[in-house]
Each structure stands twice: as C-alpha cells, then as structure tokens.
C-alpha cells in the first residue's frame, strides 16, 4: 500500500517522519520555503514555495495529486485544506484540526469556551492600545504571543508598563503569516510542565505515551525527558483533557498536547497536531515506537498494537552560536565515546544564533534515575560546537 504523501514544512521533525514513512514503503514530496531543508534531503521529491501563497499551494497539489497532506509548520494557508479534503485528499489529522491548531485563538477558545478545560486567563489584542487594555485585565506579569508562531518566536513576558510596547513590536517581528493579533495570557503558578503525546486512530482508539517533562527558554525547548514524574491523578486528568480536545478536532495522527501541572490541578496550555519537538526524546528508544513511527502508522491507518515503556531517556538541544552556512560540528568523538549516548544532527544548511542544529540523546534502563540521564544529556550537548 504505497501512498503519495505531501509534507508541508521540512524541518527536523519532518525529516524523522519521512524516514519512518519510507520504512513503511511510502513516497514523500517534501515542501519548504528554501531548498535543502532537512526533510528534503531524504524525501523522494521536493518543492520550494511560499506556503502562505494559496495559489502556489494549489499548484503543487494539482501537480502531484497526493493521497495525504501532512502539515509540519504553522505558516500555511490552512483554509485551502478544506477544499483538498473535498477533492478526496486526506489532510492530517484533518482540515479542521490543522486550521484550529495553527491559530492560538481558535484552539484556546475551543479548549476553554467550548470544552470547558482549565486554562490560564487570557485576552486578545489587535493593536498596541488593545494590548494595554488586555494587560490591565489579565494583570502582570503576563505572556504575549502572536496567534501564529513557533519555537517561541515573538513570545515575551510583560513585567511592567514599559514592557508593553516592546512586547507588541517583538510579537509583530516574530509572527508567522499576516495576522497581527496576539494572545495575552496570565501567569500560571505551575510546578512543572509536560507534553502528553496522544495518538488518535481511524479505529477511534486513543493511545497515550508516558508524560514527557521539558524545560523551555525563550519559548523554545532546551531539554526533555521521559518519563516525567507525574502523579496518577494528574496523568488521568491530562489524558481526559487530551482526549476531549483531539476528539473535537477530529482525525488520526500524533498530537503534542502541552500542560501545566499546578497545585490546583492540570492546565491545558497548547496543542500541536503533529510530532512535538520535546518528543525527540523518543528517538532514544524510550518507547517501542518513536513518536515519528507512531505518527506514520496512524496517518496510514496501520495498527498500533501497544505503546510500551522500554527505557528512561533524555534529549538536550545543540544550538548554534553564530551565523554561517554549511556548518560543521566538533566534539562528536567525545560525546559518542560515552555509553548509552547518541546524537542526531539535523542537516540544516544555515546556522544562526540559538538555532537548533541537533540533539543529544541519552538513555538507561527503566529503573534508572531520570535526573542523572538528563544531566548526562545536558553535559554532552555542551561538548558539541557548531562551527
């Protein structure tokens, strides 16, 4: 059963998905805004277009006639997906899911207003004056995010009045697409934050991976580990929330559902309808199937018999410190000389300060101390230098 899959966005997560899908005999067209993006390096075919140009999207879809469209990024004219579904093309997880989750406003209103999930207090703003009014309602400190962005771009914290104008300008510079509107969120006094990888399937059965803990800096993940230490009560609450929101959005695939864990319970934070960056820890063999293998099976409607916990593991990102092209890496021998340690370099042709260029993976037996494994990953990542 070979399908033609069009991947929209070809970053490091897309690259691992392409590999997983090709191992199941699939044909992949990798699309991105620049040539030699990571997933394009391993795909069967490639296209380079501006995915915010609806006419260009229509052109390549008509050219390739894919069976399945898999979005990997936010900056896409997702409203075109409804028409593609009418043409008989499967959109992953669904056109509705892609449209809702690519926009923080749609997904937050669905979670808070329609499904009644616990979320941080929030308001929206279309301009600087509305932002000032929203901050007055939500209170300080608060977080400002563009409705469309990724990896923390355009996200900042407002601690005093002087920060408001700066936050507005930063949100506009970091947004994806042409929407100026931002979301203003109250701070949640949380003890930890987790990603709950959730797998929805054509048979209606929803599966959950063990919770993944992660640390973020400037809105982007730095380390992740699995399993995270979470009470059974909080796990159940998070699973119930994840099942409600994914069922409402419809479709099959893997979802990265983010939660804050606080004394009063679990807060829904955000959701991605695709493999999650914190889920790269599953490449360390923490599960019998990585998040990318799970996504490929769910997308293709293939059975997933079970998700089992095989190891404890951690990931730590390798960041560039300067701009450059065709980067090389030093320190590989030192890191790979350590036991139960691995590296994934993404193959990005351009480096810039704080760009994620790779990840170090560490692991040990299921009863091993996760904090020790995590520290090993962090120390090893510091040994890799992007040149």
Number of CB atoms found within 10 A of residue 36's CB = 15
Which residue pairs, CB below 8 angstroms and at least 24 apart, start in 57-66? Answer: 57/8, 60/6, 60/29, 60/31, 61/6, 61/89, 64/4, 64/6, 64/29, 65/4, 65/89, 66/4, 66/5, 66/6, 66/29
Evaluate the CA torsion angle 221, 227, 228, 233 in order and state its sign. Answer: positive
Task: Compute the distance between CA of residue 1 and CA of residue 302 in angstroms, rounded to an integer.
Answer: 10
Which residue pairs, CB below 8 angstroms and at least 24 apart, start in 130-135? Answer: 131/164, 131/167, 131/168, 131/182, 131/184, 132/164, 134/184, 135/164, 135/184
Assess whether the previous peptide bond of 93 is cis (omega < 30° from 0).
yes
Is 154 tagged catalytic? no
- Selecting among 67, 83, 152, 341, the annotated active-site residue is 152
Is 277 tagged catalytic? yes
Of 311, 333, 326, 314, the residue nearest 357 (C-alpha)? 326
Is 278 tagged catalytic? yes
Give the contacts of 262 (CB within 8 A, at least 6 positions apart). Answer: 188, 189, 190, 191
- Selecting among 10, 150, 156, 198, the annotated active-site residue is 150
- Selecting among 174, 356, 358, 376, the annotated active-site residue is 356
Q: Give, for 187, the enclosing helix (H) or strand (E).
A: none
- Selecting among 32, 237, 277, 293, the annotated active-site residue is 277
- Selecting among 83, 243, 270, 310, the annotated active-site residue is 270
Task: Compute the distance between CA of residue 83 and CA of residue 85 in angstroms, rounded to an integer.
Answer: 5
Is 258 tagged catalytic? yes
Give the contacts of 125 (CB within 8 A, at least 6 positions apart). Answer: 131, 133, 134, 168, 181, 182, 184
- Selecting among 72, 237, 258, 291, the annotated active-site residue is 258
Give the residue numbers annotated as catalytic, written as ranges. Answer: 150, 152, 258, 270, 277-278, 356
């Amino acid at each position: 059963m070979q399908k033609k899959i069009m991947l929209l966005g070809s970053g490091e997560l897309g690259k691992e998905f392409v590999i997983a899908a090709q191992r199941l005999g699939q044909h992949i067209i990798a699309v991105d805004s620049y040539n030699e993006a990571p997933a394009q390096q391993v795909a069967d075919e490639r296209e380079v277009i501006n995915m915010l140009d609806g006419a260009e999207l229509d052109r390549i879809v008509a050219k390739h006639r894919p069976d399945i469209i898999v979005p990997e990024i936010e900056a896409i004219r997702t409203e075109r997906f409804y028409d593609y579904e009418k043409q008989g093309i499967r959109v992953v997880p669904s056109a509705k899911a892609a449209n809702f989750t690519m926009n923080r406003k749609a997904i937050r209103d669905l979670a808070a207003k329609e499904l009644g999930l616990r979320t941080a207090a929030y308001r929206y703003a279309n301009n600087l004056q509305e932002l000032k009014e929203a901050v007055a309602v939500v209170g300080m400190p608060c977080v400002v995010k563009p409705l469309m962005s990724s990896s923390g771009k355009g996200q900042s914290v407002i601690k005093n009045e002087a920060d408001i104008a700066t936050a507005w300008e930063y949100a506009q510079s970091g947004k994806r697409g042409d929407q100026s509107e931002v979301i203003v969120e109250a701070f949640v006094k949380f003890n930890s934050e987790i990603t709950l990888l959730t797998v929805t399937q054509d048979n209606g059965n929803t599966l959950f991976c063990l919770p993944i803990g992660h640390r973020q800096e400037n809105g982007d993940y730095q380390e992740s580990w699995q399993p995270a230490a979470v009470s059974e009560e909080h796990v159940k609450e998070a699973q119930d929330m994840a099942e409600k929101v994914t069922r409402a959005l419809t479709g099959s695939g893997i979802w990265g559902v983010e939660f804050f864990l606080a004394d009063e319970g679990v807060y829904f934070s955000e959701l991605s309808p695709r493999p999650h960056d914190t889920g790269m820890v599953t490449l360390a063999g923490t599960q019998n199937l990585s998040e990318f293998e799970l996504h490929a099976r769910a997308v293709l409607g293939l059975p997933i018999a079970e998700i089992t916990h095989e190891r404890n593991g951690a990931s730590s990102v390798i960041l560039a410190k300067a701009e450059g092209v065709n980067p090389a890496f030093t320190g590989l021998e030192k890191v790979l000389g350590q036991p139960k340690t691995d590296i994934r370099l993404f193959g990005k042709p351009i480096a810039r300060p704080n760009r994620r260029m790779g990840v170090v993976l560490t692991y040990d037996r299921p009863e091993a101390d996760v904090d020790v494994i995590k520290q090993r990953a962090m120390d090893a990542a510091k040994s890799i230098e992007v040149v």
